[in-house]
Amino acid sequence: MQKVEPRTLPGFMELYPHEQVEFDRIKNIIIDTYKQYGFYPLDTPVIEHSDVLLAKAGGETEKQIYRFNKADNDLSLRFDLTVPLAKYVAKRYNELAFPFKRYQVGKVFRGERPQKGRFREFYQCDIDVIGDDELSIKYDCEVLNIIYDIFRKLNIGDFIIQINNRKILSGFFSSLNLEDKVTEILRLIDKIDKIGVSEVKNELKNLNILDNQINKIIEFINISGSNQEKIDKLKSLNIDNDKFNKGIEELENVINDLRARRVSSENYQITLTIARGLDYYTGSVFETKLKDYPNIGSVCSGGRYENLAEYYTDKKLPGVGMSIGLTRLFYQLVEANIIKTDKCSSSEIMILPMCNNYEYIYEIQDMLLNMGISVNICYLEKGLKQKMKYANKLLTKYVLIIGDDEIEKDTVILKNMYEGIQFEIPRSDLNNVKEVYLQE
Amino acid sequence: MQKVEPRTLPGFMELYPHEQVEFDRIKNIIIDTYKQYGFYPLDTPVIEHSDVLLAKAGGETEKQIYRFNKADNDLSLRFDLTVPLAKYVAKRYNELAFPFKRYQVGKVFRGERPQKGRFREFYQCDIDVIGDDELSIKYDCEVLNIIYDIFRKLNIGDFIIQINNRKILSGFFSSLNLEDKVTEILRLIDKIDKIGVSEVKNELKNLNILDNQINKIIEFINISGSNQEKIDKLKSLNIDNDKFNKGIEELENVINDLRARRVSSENYQITLTIARGLDYYTGSVFETKLKDYPNIGSVCSGGRYENLAEYYTDKKLPGVGMSIGLTRLFYQLVEANIIKTDKCSSSEIMILPMCNNYEYIYEIQDMLLNMGISVNICYLEKGLKQKMKYANKLLTKYVLIIGDDEIEKDTVILKNMYEGIQFEIPRSDLNNVKEVYLQE
């Protein structure tokens, strides 16, 4: 028979089994945290009507889309989880209770040019809270609290959540009569870490911005100190602009609330140069960085927007949300050696049967399963050496060897494969196997 | 602004939030059981090269496929999870440890004509064990044990796993010199419950099958009694055909093993008329039925096959597996009123803050979160009545009301919204809230 070469498309992540164990562990930490805070799961289709999905899109996004016809339908694969959420909420507006809190974890598709660390199919892990006409700023704080919880649980090193408010930026540039140049200025500010202050000054000059305006911009982005000091300095600028002052009020609100939540102040920081998506966010914006790995960039971003679903409905639906790009994050964490997958097995214990008394073996298995321990049984019809080799290849930490001798004595042999030590333990002691024998 | 109508494609399931909670609960029971038995997670791409995906397909499947071009690539969406598994195993043959046990839960796509209860995008929940050249029959038994565990945990009523062995069928028809008519005969046998024995006899006659052959066929499918009695009767047919006798041996092996596993004999049954996919399975085959809902058909099927990946590799890779079509199953369970979603909320407790002392409120939330309880806080800036209405709309069972009075007394008010009763309880008693106050 002629064979087809089994290939996977470039730009599509397909992990080894042990890597997938770790990927799923991280994914579940994220999902469990979302659920803990009472977010509803949502699971929208991968395929949608093209006109629905592309109501807003344009430019790069539209070029990257997977779009095709089937029968007479013009179809596309979703390229994010926000547009499907907007569609869902607009469609079911009358049946949903607002604020509507939902999480969605799923694959999205973008036919980008493949390059190292970029994927055409990737997981997004999103939460959003959608209000009906209005939405308390407490939800901004809850989203920040969830980011804090997740990155503590992930245990991938020190992290900092950088927080800003878009009203402060807009109001500030408005007070300088620079509204029409906000986009270019923000783009420059975003590069300040890379190109330095003096180069930013030069480029601002190229935009025909006056020296005294440039000095005010530099003064603004140089504001430093503790979070409270930054807020005080912003206030002391005495800028007479409603938006600016509303932004300070919101930011102070958020900071005070995070303090009440006992979110450690080591893990968040007002960062006035954070802007995010230039035409979407209208209030709080945030990014999350790993302190020891600045090159990875933001691993979790989000913010507050005015209107989720204006392409579908006249209803005003403000929201706040955040997203973790898990496929890319996982790739980066592995590349940077922050997570290791060489001890990720599919089961905590593997039983190696060395006799045919399966009633005894299944009893042991049931006992362990009932204790919430995952148990693989090696049914290879081979000798102990081959079975050990199999357990090793599966990265199994603990094996239970059960032969006629053990059954006669009503015991099992528990071997720690990582450390090469073993104990013979009475079956009755298996009740405490988790506490006494299985170490983390 | 011109609005686009927010539509979802027909044949694509998109649930209400409370329905999704129940869907996910069921999905997680299935996944957790797969994991308990040491199956590795696998997550292959939704999009594959068309020639890879369609190496084996043809006929109906090929017509239903979502296939399109992007740049110069001929791409298709996966239509099942077995072909991607075959690709994966063939591609990584040298790096995997065999037997390779994997589960995959994911969406697959088939552009069928839409009709009630059929979906174009649906979840499959699969497990398979793949051997390298050989695979112990114990894995057939493990798969059956997993089906048993899952349907007990799902608690959706009495179920029966029907078990057969394809070698018995093939061997039997071979002994009657009817090899060339096996397909048609099996198709007729499959209809016996619908059309009755005498109609089956007539149609067998139409196939030019002789009367004495027909009598033997009817005698064979009429074999009744307990599982052991059926095996004894099969043996007493004294048919001199190796395949037939090998099939009996395998089937007896399976039945004896299920007994050793203490799988309740109420929940499985040898059923000699079960055949499943006519050109794929070669040993054990099984279907699962809900006893009180025979019209739903099989809710979980699978079996043993000879060669997983012959389109990609010369390696002989026998396997055994099973699949649950979760989207269809969920639809049917809701339709038949077997599961209800009118009490599915996204959180166990909702806090209704009636004052601005959020430090106290967040402390209570943290306390509950740390106990593994999911906690929604209602930040609506409205009165108690509106907040209660919100909690009700979210189907929340328990609310905690916290106002200045409660904080002064260091208490909270816990209200069971379903039963309309409430208690004021000291904060210190919240440690036992799960055991004492939250009923199932």
pLDDT one-digit tens code per residue, A81-109? 999 999 999 999 999 999 999 999 999 99
pLDDT of residue A97: 97
Whose CA is closest to B270, among B281, B259, B279? B259
Q: Which two tokens stand for residue A399?
A: 């094996």
pLDDT of residue A276: 78
pLDDT of residue B398: 97
Residue A277's pLDDT band (boundaries 50, 70, 90)? low
Residue B220's pLDDT band (boundaries 50, 70, 90)? very high
Pairwise CA distance, residues B354 & A34, whole Å: 24
Classified as helix, coil or strand, A416 is strand
Pairwise CA distance, residues A167 & A169, whole Å: 5
On the question of pLDDT at A428 being above 80, the answer is yes
Strands B73-77 and A121-130, sheet pairing: unpaired
Give yes or no for a contact between A90 and A312, defined as CB atoms under 8 angstroms apart. yes
Say yes or no for a CB contact (<8 Å) between A17 and B38. Answer: no
How many other β-carbons are positioned within 10 Å of the β-carbon of residue B174? 17
pLDDT of residue B60: 74
CB < 8 Å to B407, chain A:
none
**Per-residue model confidence as pLDDT tens digits over A397-427:** 999 999 999 999 999 999 999 999 999 999 9
Classified as helix, coil or strand, B415 is strand
Q: Which two tokens stand for residue B124?
A: 């499959």
DSSP letter (8 states) at residue A4: P
Helices (DSSP H) in A208-352: which residue ranges?
Answer: 211-221, 227-236, 242-260, 326-335
On the question of pLDDT at B351 being above 70, the answer is yes
Say yes or no for a CB contact (<8 Å) between B68 and A71. Answer: no
**Per-residue model confidence as pLDDT tens digits over B263-287:** 999 999 999 988 876 678 999 999 9
Say yes or no for a CB contact (<8 Å) between B38 and A376. Answer: yes
Q: Which two tokens stand for residue B267?
A: 């929940």
Interface check B260 vs A, CB under 8 A: yes
pLDDT of residue B275: 83
DSSP β-bridge partners for residue A414:
A400, A423
Say yes or no for a CB contact (<8 Å) between B40 and A75. Answer: no
Helices (DSSP H) in B155-277: which residue ranges?
Answer: 166-175, 182-190, 192-195, 197-206, 211-221, 227-236, 242-260
DSSP letter (8 states) at residue A296: G
Residues near B385 by Cβ (< 8 Å), separated by ≥ 6?
none
**Per-residue model confidence as pLDDT tens digits over A297-343:** 999 999 999 999 999 999 999 999 999 999 999 999 999 999 999 99
Interface check B313 vs A, CB under 8 A: yes
% of chain A at pLDDT higher than 70: 99
Pairwise CA distance, residues A331 & A334, whole Å: 5
DSSP character string of A79-131: S-SHHHHHHHHHHTTTTS-SSEEEEEEEEEE--PPP-TT--SEEEEEEEEEE-
Q: Angle CA(B188)–CA(B194)–CA(B200) in degrees, nearest 5?
A: 35
On the question of pLDDT at A169 being above 90, the answer is yes
ipTM of model over 0.85: yes
Whose CA is closest to B388, among B353, B434, B346, B344? B353
pLDDT of residue A26: 98
Say yes or no for a CB contact (<8 Å) between A17 and B42. Answer: yes
Enclosing H/E stretch for A76: strand A73-77
pLDDT of residue B440: 61
CA distance A407 to chain B (A): 15
How many other β-carbons are positioned within 10 Å of the β-carbon of residue B147? 26
On the question of pLDDT at A440 being above 70, the answer is no
Interface check B262 vs A, CB under 8 A: yes
Q: Which two tokens stand for residue B284?
A: 């054990």
Pairwise CA distance, residues A75 & A111, whole Å: 15
**Per-residue model confidence as pLDDT tens digits over A6-64:** 999 999 999 999 999 999 999 999 999 999 999 999 999 999 999 999 998 667 778 89
The distance in angstroms from the start CA to the end CA of chain B is 49
Calculate the average pLDDT of chain B: 94
Q: What is the rounded average pLDDT of the residues B226-230?
A: 97
> What is the reported pTM?
0.96
Q: Angle CA(B28)–CA(B33)–CA(B37) in degrees, nearest 5?
A: 145
On the question of pLDDT at B58 being above 90, the answer is no
pLDDT of residue A438: 85
CB < 8 Å to A111, chain B:
70-71
CB < 8 Å to A35, chain B:
346, 374
A and B: number of Cβ contacts within 8 A: 248
CB < 8 Å to A91, chain B:
6-8
pLDDT of residue B277: 66
